[in-house]
Homo-oligomer: A and B are copies of this chain.
């Protein structure tokens, strides 16, 4: 089945961006690129919140490449397709149910923290891939702003790369029926 993978770079104190949205502190060292290329080729869909979209748009990126279908969750922008993006409103569960029924590759949950919270609340995240850079920012936009129930994961990969980048991959461990939910 298609997996929803929350994958982001973060500071050691858990921020995806500085308070103004910039993320100059993130980096991908050369020895990480093969892993990133393999990850990218396992996807055909990217999902982001409106604030993350605004930032990628300001960078002139317009989505994650021609082979990737891009969805933007927004409470304020009108739904529909334009500029290579599909704008959607409302709870992520409806869209995810629809996407999971379709054949396809994995789905990249690009952030930000608020959309991640909605996905974690609805227990829609199958894997988390973190690239941790060795800096404490002391302020910023958190990847995990809280506001969802406990979710247990299992470590599936731990690698170190140049310049102190640590790449951690986790998969969701859902408790069996009858056990306390977490």
Residues in A lying within 8 Å of B, measured CB to CB: 12-14, 25, 120, 128, 132, 134-140, 143-144, 146-155, 158, 160, 164-166, 168, 170
Contacts and interface: CB of A to CB of B under 8 A. Distances in A.
Stoichiometry (number of copies) = 2
Contact of A154 (B14, B132, B134, B153): B134
Contacts of A14: 13-14, 144
Given A135-B152, A138-B146, A158-B158, 8 more contacts: A12-B144, A12-B153, A25-B150, A132-B168, A134-B154, A135-B151, A139-B146, A155-B160
Given A12-B128, A14-B13, A146-B13, A153 B136 contact: yes
Nearest to A135: B152
A49 B165 CA distance: 31
